[in-house]
A and B are shown apart, each in its own frame.
Chain A
């Protein structure tokens, strides 16, 4: 059974640009959550989607957005990138209570 797949694995972007990250959950998992991980703040919740609907949202500015498609694949978008957006972005696929993470996308903003 394939795990959670995130693409791309690495990205380098310039301040002011926008970026789109992709996540394909484990087959049959309808819940997808996104997290930002930085050394100082740890894992911070961005948002959760279930059956194409945003179910929960963390405390991030509106520059961070997401969506989920009918096949449960999810994308997150960050517009007007700032240096502080440099982080590891993790996607987690959940069935019932247990969540499983993808390999993450390492975003560097220069």
Chain B
């Protein structure tokens, strides 16, 4: 069974802080990794994809991948209340497999 694990949270951070979201996966052969953001009552929205070891930055978001440790993370700098959502980690095996998500709460 290919799995993706995330802490359910909630992760609470004050406005302006860095939020760090983590994810581990079970299959060493995986090559494609994604972060989705899901607001309450809405569908998941793709915010980052990463395919090689290291960091990938896009605005306030940085995805980090460590294939040796089977670990993916998402950093959100200068967190805003509008970042409050559930963040889903996804790994592409033969199908796209999701973790159960980490709820992030950013307080003003």
Residues of A bordering B, CB below 8 Å = 33, 35, 41-43, 45, 48, 56, 58, 88, 90, 92, 94, 97-104
Contacts and interface: CB of A to CB of B under 8 A. Distances in A.
Contacts of B32: 97
A38 to B, nearest CB: 10
B43 A98 contact: no
A43 B95 contact: no
Contacts, number: 44
A43 B46 contact: no
A94 to B, nearest CB: 8
Contact of A45 (B36, B49, B96): B96
26 contacts: A33-B95, A33-B96, A42-B88, A42-B99, A43-B44, A43-B88, A45-B96, A45-B97, A56-B94, A56-B95, A58-B95, A88-B43, A90-B43, A94-B96, A97-B51, A97-B92, A98-B34, A98-B46, A99-B46, A99-B90, A101-B36, A101-B43, A101-B45, A102-B43, A103-B42, A104-B43
A45 B1 CA distance: 13
Contacts of A100: 46
B25 interface: no
Given A99-B34, A101-B36, 4 more contacts: A90-B43, A92-B96, A98-B49, A104-B43
